[in-house]
C-alpha cells in the first residue's frame, strides 16, 4: 500500500512499501500518512461475510487496497504524531478510544470482537462513566497527539483529567501550544488557550452564500503555526468553497476561494452519503460532488487554493466483489 506502512503483511495484507518496524504497543498497528486523505466505508471482504459490516479504510488514491475492522458509525481520528488511526464507537456506552488494528472475516458485528486486543489510547481513569448528550463527540486528538475528552456535557478535560476553561464552547480542532479553534455560542469561532481560557480572537470565517434550506459544511485542520478552516455550501447550487487561514493568535493570515469545480461537476448533490469535507496537509479541500453527463457519477473533488481542481474518486468504480475495495462514506485526514 503506497501510503500505508502496515506491519501485518505476514498475515496477507498488502504492503508494497517496506513495512515499519514493530510498534512497541502492537505488532499489528498500521501507520497511515496523516498528510494525505483516506476513505472509510463498506469493504468487499466484510460484505461477503454477511451482516454488512464492519467498515474498511483505504487511501483515496488506492481504494482497492483497504484494511477492515472499523465499527460502523465510529468517530475517527488520524493521529498526526505517528499515523495511528484512533476511534471510539457509539455502540459502546463508555466509548473508549482505541488504536485500530485490522481484523479478518468472519465478522460477528460486535464491537467487543473488533476491539479485542487493541490498545486503549486514552487514560482509563476518565472522570465520567457512560457518555451523555451527543454520543459522537467524546474526544479530540491534538496536533501533538494528546487526547482531550468530554463526558457529554459542556465540560472538557485533558489527559490528566484537568478540566479545561472553555465555558460552553466546543473545540473544533486543537493545535500547537494548547491553542484551539472553538465553536462559540453566537455561531462563530474563537482561538483560545485551553489551559487558561484566554480568548485571543473571535473569527467569522469567510463562507459561501447559501440559499434558503441550505447550510454550510466546515472542515478544520491545525498546523504548527495556526489553523485552516474550509467551508462549502450544501444542498445549494452555489459551487463556491472558501478558506480562512489563522495564526495561533487568531489573526486572519489569508482568506480566499478554492479552485472552481471541474467542468461537468456540480454541488447539487454535494453531501451524498453524509460525507463532510476534509483538508489535506496543503490546506486543499476534498469535497463530495456530482458529475453529470452520459455516465453520471458521485465523485470526490480535490480543490486547491491555487491551481486547478480535479476528480480524485469515482463512486461508480467501487466493486463489492473485490475483497479490499472500500466504498467512500467518510473522508479522514490528520485533523
Question: Does some domain include residue 218?
Answer: yes
R_g (Cα) of the chain, nearest Å? 20
Q: For cell 483515496, what's the residue?
A: 60
Domain count within the chain:
1
CA angle, 109 as apex, 80 and 139 as ends, to 5°? 30
Q: Is residue 256 part of a domain?
A: yes
The whole-number pLDDT of residue 227 equals 97
pLDDT digits (tens, 9 = 90+) for 216-267: 789 999 999 999 999 988 766 678 899 999 999 999 999 999 999 999 998 7
How many Cβ atoms are within 10 Å of 280's Cβ, its own excluded?
21
Q: What is the pLDDT of residues 293-324, one digit of tens each?
A: 777 889 999 999 999 999 999 999 999 888 88
Which pLDDT tens digit goes with each residue over 78-105? Answer: 999 999 999 987 666 667 888 999 887 6
Residue 35 falls inside a structural domain = no
C-alpha cell of 96?
Answer: 473508549
Q: Average of pLDDT values for 59-76?
A: 90
Report residue 55 as a C-alpha cell: 467498515
Per-residue model confidence (pLDDT) at position 258: 96
The whole-number pLDDT of residue 278 equals: 96
pLDDT score at 166: 80
pLDDT at 48: 62
Query: Going by C-beta distance under 8 Å and a sequence separation of 6 or more, which residues neighbour residue 17?
Result: 1, 2, 5
Phi and psi dihedrals of 93, rounded to 5?
-70, -45
Residue 245 maps to a domain: yes
What domain range includes position 268?
Answer: 205-335
Answer yes or no: is 7 within a domain. no
Sign of CA dihedral 52, 45, 310, 264: negative
Q: Is 257 contained in some domain?
A: yes
Q: How far is it, in rounded angstroms, from Cα 47 to Cα 205?
A: 41
Residue (of 30, 24, 33) closest to 8 by Cα position = 30
Q: Please, how many CA atoms are within 13 Å of residue 11, restricted to the half-sphere of its CB?
A: 14
Distance CA 288, CA 281 (A): 18
* Euclidean distance between CA atoms 327 and 216, whole angstroms: 24
Amino acid at each position: 500500500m503506497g501510503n500505508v506502512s502496515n506491519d501485518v503483511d505476514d498475515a496477507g495484507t498488502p504492503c508494497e512499501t517496506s513495512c515499519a518496524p514493530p510498534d512497541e504497543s502492537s505488532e499489528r498497528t498500521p501507520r497511515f500518512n496523516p498528510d494525505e486523505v483516506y476513505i472509510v466505508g463498506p469493504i468487499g471482504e466484510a460484505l461477503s461475510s454477511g451482516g454488512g459490516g464492519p467498515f474498511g479504510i483505504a487511501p483515496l488514491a488506492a481504494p482497492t487496497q483497504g484494511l477492515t475492522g472499523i465499527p460502523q458509525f465510529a468517530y475517527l481520528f488520524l493521529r498526526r504524531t505517528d499515523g495511528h488511526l484512533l476511534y471510539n464507537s457509539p455502540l459502546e456506552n463508555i466509548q473508549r478510544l482505541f488504536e485500530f488494528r485490522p481484523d479478518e472475516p468472519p465478522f460477528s458485528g460486535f464491537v467487543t470482537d473488533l476491539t479485542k486486543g487493541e490498545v486503549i489510547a486514552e487514560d482509563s481513569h476518565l472522570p465520567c462513566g457512560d457518555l451523555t448528550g451527543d454520543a459522537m463527540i467524546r474526544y479530540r486528538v491534538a496536533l501533538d497527539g494528546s487526547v482531550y475528552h468530554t463526558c457529554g456535557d459542556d465540560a472538557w478535560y485533558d489527559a490528566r483529567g484537568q478540566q479545561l476553561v472553555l465555558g460552553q464552547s466546543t473545540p473544533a480542532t486543537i493545535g500547537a501550544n494548547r491553542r484551539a479553534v472553538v465553536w462559540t455560542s453566537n455561531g462563530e469561532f474563537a482561538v483560545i488557550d485551553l489551559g487558561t481560557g484566554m480568548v485571543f480572537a473571535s473569527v467569522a470565517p469567510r463562507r459561501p452564500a447559501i440559499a434558503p434550506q441550505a447550510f454550510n459544511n466546515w472542515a478544520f485542520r491545525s498546523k504548527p503555526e495556526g489553523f485552516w478552516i474550509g467551508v462549502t455550501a450544501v444542498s445549494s447550487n452555489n459551487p463556491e468553497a472558501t478558506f480562512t487561514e489563522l495564526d495561533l493568535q487568531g489573526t486572519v493570515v489569508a482568506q480566499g476561494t478554492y479552485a472552481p469545480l471541474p467542468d461537468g461537476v456540480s454541488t447539487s448533490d454535494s453531501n451524498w452519503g453524509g460525507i463532510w469535507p476534509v483538508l489535506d496537509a496543503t490546506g486543499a479541500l476534498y469535497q463530495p460532488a456530482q458529475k453529470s453527463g452520459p455516465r453520471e457519477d458521485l465523485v470526490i473533488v480535490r480543490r486547491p487554493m491555487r491551481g486547478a481542481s480535479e476528480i480524485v474518486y469515482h463512486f461508480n468504480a467501487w466493486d463489492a466483489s473485490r475483497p479490499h475495495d472500500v466504498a467512500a462514506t467518510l473522508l479522514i485526514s490528520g485533523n
